[in-house]
């Protein structure tokens, strides 16, 4: 919820999904450029949700959030992996860079 408010306050149209299944339903109904997902969603792995999103629309950017010290299995399929707890300004800068296609956003983890 906090990230949704942060993204909204920065001018993004942020939608929320309660599960990976809900996220896929939203993708089928709305044009979405970017999905930010917890790397450890209940009932679906990071690799599964990323694969499902990319299979539906390969142009959708996928950002995985993790609080784990090691990258989750399948994280390499995501466009960006961010560590939970980063400063809001850094989070927004990384999202903006990814959306803009800047090479500095290409790092898989921060």
Q: What is the CATH number of the domain that holds 97?
A: 3.40.50.2300
What pLDDT does 1 receive? 63
The SS3 assignment for 78 reads coil
Residues of the domain holding 20: 2-106
Task: Report DSSP state, residue 76.
Answer: G
Query: How many domains, the chain?
Result: 1
Per-residue pLDDT of the chain (110 residues; tens, 9 = 90+): 688 899 999 999 998 888 888 888 898 999 999 999 888 777 777 788 888 889 989 999 999 988 887 877 777 889 999 989 899 999 999 999 999 985 444 444 44
As a whole number of angstroms, the distance between CA 99 and CA 77 comes to: 17
């Amino acid at each position: 919820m906090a990230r949704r408010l942060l993204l909204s306050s920065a001018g993004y149209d942020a939608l929320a999904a309660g599960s990976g299944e809900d996220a896929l339903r939203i993708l089928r109904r709305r044009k979405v450029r970017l999905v930010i997902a917890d790397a450890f969603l209940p009932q679906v792995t990071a690799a599964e949700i990323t694969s499902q999103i990319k299979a539906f629309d390969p142009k959708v950017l996928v950002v995985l959030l993790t609080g784990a010290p090691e990258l989750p299995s399948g994280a390499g399929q995501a466009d960006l992996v961010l560590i939970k707890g980063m400063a809001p300004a850094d989070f927004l800068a990384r999202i903006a860079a990814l959306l803009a296609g800047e090479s500095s956003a290409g790092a898989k983890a921060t």
